[in-house]
Amino acid sequence: MKTNFTAGFWRLADPKISLASMASILLGTCAAAADGPIHWAWLAATIAGIFAIEVGKNASGEVFDFDSGTDLAVAEGDRSPFSGGKRVMVDGLLTRGQTWLIAAVSYALGAAVGLLIALWREPSVLWLGLVGGACAFLYHAPPVRLSYRGLGELAVALCYGPLICAGTYLVQRGQVTAPVLCLSLPLGLLVGAFLWINEFPDYLADRASGKNNLVVRLGRPLASRVFSGILAWAFLLLLFLPAVGVPSRVWLAAAAAPPAFSAARRLMAHPESTPQIIPAQARTLLAFVLYAIGGGIGLLLG
């Protein structure tokens, strides 16, 4: 089979893969900017390190999901721009060896950047980096396989909410405050909801290959209602953020509510139809991006 390394690498490293982590970095940066000057070189290092781990996660995950049969089992009618994996091995763009090479180099680069920040800027980042790197690899990798045991959703919510947002703030300010942690929780729920809805098109493939995520365990009709509950909790937490010391202008993040609840209505109406779910996936993505942008602007104004 003829491969295409450039196309395969780009599919794994397309900057769009990092929208969730970049949203969390943006929110953490705005919180840090509201409390003092931004050290741009260390911010650039933070972005580079997290992006490298993202690419490594995508690459190693491709191999493990290929081996389990999950990606191979996704029917043509259930393919979505937001789910089904990157398919670099399924589509013959990369060999197994090339995919592992990208994973190894990316993880190594992410670890090197993390060590640089820990040694020269903030030692506490080391522990956050270890947790984040472990979650990234063990999300797919045996024997832990978080995404196969119904723990992937929690891991994603924690990593793309508190871990990255608070870690970004920590690099800038040298500490993490309770308001920053609380601020990151709704974002974590919204990013977790994006993963949740992305599991719907892959439901049959995941169930057949033993990838027992929470959507597979609950079934799509019930899981669609839980999705709405996750979104409701995110905006309920946003409502109470000023009570823990976050400026009330953070409520600008409520701009995320219309696409979020539009996605919820659509998913509950069509939980088993991929063509109907795809627009809801896009709106869920828009919701967490708008939360980060609106919340970040609110922090800077507040």
Q: Each residue of 201-229: pLDDT tens digit?
A: 999 999 999 999 999 999 999 999 999 99
Range of the domain at 262: 5-301
Helix (H, G, I), strand (E, B) or coil at 139: coil
Identify the pLDDT of residue 1. Answer: 52
Structural contact between residues 166 and 6, judged by C-beta atoms closer than 8 angstroms: no
Q: Each residue of 259-273: pLDDT tens digit?
A: 999 999 999 999 999
Residue 85 pLDDT grade (very low, low, confident, very high; cuts 50, 70, 90): confident
Bridge partner list, 80: 83
List of residues 6+ apart from 22 with CB closer than 8 A: 47
Query: CA-CA distance, 54 to 57, in Å (whole number)?
Result: 5
Residue 49 pLDDT grade (very low, low, confident, very high; cuts 50, 70, 90): very high
CATH of the domain at 70: 1.10.600
Instruction: Give the chain's domain count.
Output: 1
- Count the neighbouring beta carbons within 10 Å of the beta carbon of residue 112: 13
Q: Is the pLDDT of residue 7 over 70?
A: yes
Mean pLDDT of 275-295: 97
Query: CA-CA distance, 9 to 177, in Å (whole number)?
Result: 38
Q: How many residues does the chain have?
A: 302
Q: Is the pLDDT of residue 71 over 90?
A: no
Q: What is the mean pLDDT of the chain?
A: 95
Query: CA-CA distance, 91 to 12, in Å (whole number)?
Result: 13
